[in-house]
């Protein structure tokens, strides 16, 4: 009986034909022309805001690049990843939505899929590294103080190598990139899991190393930070003023990092759920009209981060103008923000580094 069941599973896998091979034109839009136009305008707005916002973050950071703290260096790398998604990827999908079909053939499809996965994976791994940095700085002060700028640059090299490896693996014949069910965008070929055991191994590897494991590290780090913050005031009080001021800055950067991670995961988790369902659920069980919504939500992730930076900076600016300004020992350190002017940044670097 087990042999018959195994034979049945193998035959069903061999008989499965993915959506992009069921019709002669896999790149024709499966949505109405009106829906494509709405999606095109949506992505145009997202792309413009993301490009301007992340470009501004990179520009302002470049003006004080020699004074960036390790956590800020990682934040700039996140902006680079988001800008890459907006500049390299979004024009392809915007043109295709307005054209009511994917316009760039299989070569363009594979390039678009690679670029989207490369920059998306780079963003998530960068946030994973930031969460570990925050964990060490907040929960283990004695260890966190030795993390310097050159450690951040080593970490960046590891992040780019990691993202390059997993984004390029499909080109080695292990996996593939394919059009989305709605036709006007491309992604990892999740549907390989329906076709073979090797396809299932590929999809599971991608899910674990590029989603589940990084997300678990992020959740662990920030849960430990939240638990630690409750007792941090008493603990930091035992250190000198310089360490106390530095701790205030670290807490601000931690709030930024937590919001960034939350925004990224909220944007991408629905898409991940639909992708997993497409890979391991009943073939073609995800309605085409439903599958496009998580895709569009995921594409908006690159827009959130510059907004988060500005909200946090404005909040701290309000604090500086409020009742806390009477505490002269903290007045200078609070002026050190991600988008601070160069003069105040230089003064704080002298205090804190």
Query: pLDDT by residue (tens digit) across 321-331?
Result: 444 443 433 33
Residue 320, pLDDT > 60, answer no
8 A C-beta contact, residue 131 and residue 75: no
State residue 149 phi and psi, 5-degree precision. Answer: -60, -40
Q: What is the pLDDT of residues 90-146, one digit of tens each?
A: 999 999 999 999 999 999 999 999 999 999 999 999 999 988 888 887 787 776 666
**Separation between Cα atoms, residue 267 and residue 24, nearest integer Å:** 33
pLDDT band at 163 (very low <50, low <70, confident <90, very high): very high
Residue 292, pLDDT > 80, answer yes
pLDDT band at 2 (very low <50, low <70, confident <90, very high): very low
- When pLDDT is averaged across residues 160-169 and rounded to a whole number, the result is 96
Check residues 249 and 25 and name the one with the higher pLDDT. Answer: 25
Exposure letters 198-235 (e unless 16+ CB within 10 A, then b): ebbebbeebbebbbeebbebbeebbebbeeeeeebeee
Q: What is the pTM of this model?
A: 0.79
- Of 99-108, 255-264, 267-276, 290-299, which gets the smallest average pLDDT? 255-264
Residue 27: predicted pLDDT: 92
Residue 293, pLDDT > 70, answer yes
Q: What is the 3-state secondary structure (H, E, C) of the chain?
A: CHHHHHHHHHHHHHHCCCHHHCCCCCCECCCCHHHHHHHHHHHHHHHHHHHHHHHHHHHHHHCCHHHCCHHHHHHHHHHHHHHHHHHHHHHHHHHHHHHCECCCHHHHHHHHHHHHHHHHHHHHHHHHHHHHHHHHHHHCHHHHCCCCHHHHHHHHHHHHHHHHHHHHHHHHCCCCEEECCCCCCEEECHHHHHCCHHHHHHHHHHHHHHHHHHHHHHHHHHHHHHHHHHHHHHHHCCCCHHHHHHHHHHHHHHHHHHHHHHHHHHHHHHHHHHHHHHHHCCCCCCCHHHHHHHHHHHHCHHHHHHHHHHHHHHHHHHHHHCHHHHCHHHHHHHCCCCCCCHHHHHHHHHHHC
CA-angle at 243, arms to 240 and 247, nearest 5°: 135
Residue 245: predicted pLDDT: 61
Using alpha carbons, list the distances in angstroms from residue 135 to 83, 147, 235, 255: 27, 12, 15, 12
Check residues 60 and 165 and name the one with the higher pLDDT. Answer: 165
CA-angle at 277, arms to 275 and 278, nearest 5°: 65
- When pLDDT is averaged across residues 269-298 and rounded to a whole number, the result is 85
Residue 330: predicted pLDDT: 36
Residue 229, pLDDT > 80, answer no
Check residues 298 and 290 and name the one with the higher pLDDT. Answer: 298
Percent of the chain exceeding pLDDT 70 equals: 74
**Separation between Cα atoms, residue 244 and residue 237, nearest integer Å:** 7
Residue 60, pLDDT > 70, answer yes
Q: Delineate the domains of the chain, giving CATH numbers in brackets.
A: 33-231+253-310 (1.20.1070.10)
């Amino acid at each position: 009986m087990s042999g018959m069941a195994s034979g049945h599973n193998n035959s069903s896998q061999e008989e499965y034909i993915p959506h992009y091979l069921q019709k002669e034109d896999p790149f024709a839009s499966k949505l109405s022309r009106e829906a494509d136009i709405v999606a095109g305008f949506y992505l145009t707005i997202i792309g413009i805001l993301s490009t301007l916002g992340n470009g501004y973050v990179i520009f302002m950071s470049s003006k004080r690049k020699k004074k960036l703290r390790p956590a800020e260096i990682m934040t700039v790398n996140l902006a680079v990843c988001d800008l890459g998604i907006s500049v390299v990827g979004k024009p392809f999908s915007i043109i295709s939505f307005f054209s009511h079909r994917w316009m760039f053939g299989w070569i363009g499809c594979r390039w678009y899929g690679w670029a989207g996965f490369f920059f998306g994976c780079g963003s998530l791994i960068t946030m994973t590294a930031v969460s570990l940095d925050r964990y060490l700085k907040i929960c283990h002060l004695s260890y966190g103080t030795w993390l310097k700028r050159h450690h951040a640059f080593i970490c960046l090299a590891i992040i780019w190598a990691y993202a390059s490896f997993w984004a390029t693996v499909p080109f080695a014949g292990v996996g593939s990139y394919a059009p989305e069910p709605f036709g006007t965008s491309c992604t990892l070929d999740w549907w390989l899991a329906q076709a073979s055991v090797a396809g299932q191994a590929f999809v599971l590897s991608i899910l674990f190393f590029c989603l589940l494991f990084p997300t678990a590290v992020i959740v662990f780090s920030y849960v430990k930070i939240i638990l630690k913050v409750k007792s941090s005031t008493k603990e930091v009080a035992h250190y000198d003023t310089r360490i106390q001021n530095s701790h205030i800055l670290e807490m601000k950067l931690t709030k930024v990092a937590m919001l960034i991670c939350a925004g990224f995961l909220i944007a991408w988790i629905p898409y991940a759920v639909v992708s997993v369902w497409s890979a391991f659920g009943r073939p073609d069980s995800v309605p085409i009209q439903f599958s496009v919504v998580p895709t569009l939500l995921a594409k908006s992730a690159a827009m959130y981060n510059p907004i988060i930076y500005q909200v946090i900076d404005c909040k701290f600016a309000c604090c500086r103008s409020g009742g806390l300004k009477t505490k002269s020992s903290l007045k200078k350190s609070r002026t050190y923000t991600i988008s601070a002017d160069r003069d105040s940044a230089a003064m704080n670097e002298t205090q804190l580094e």
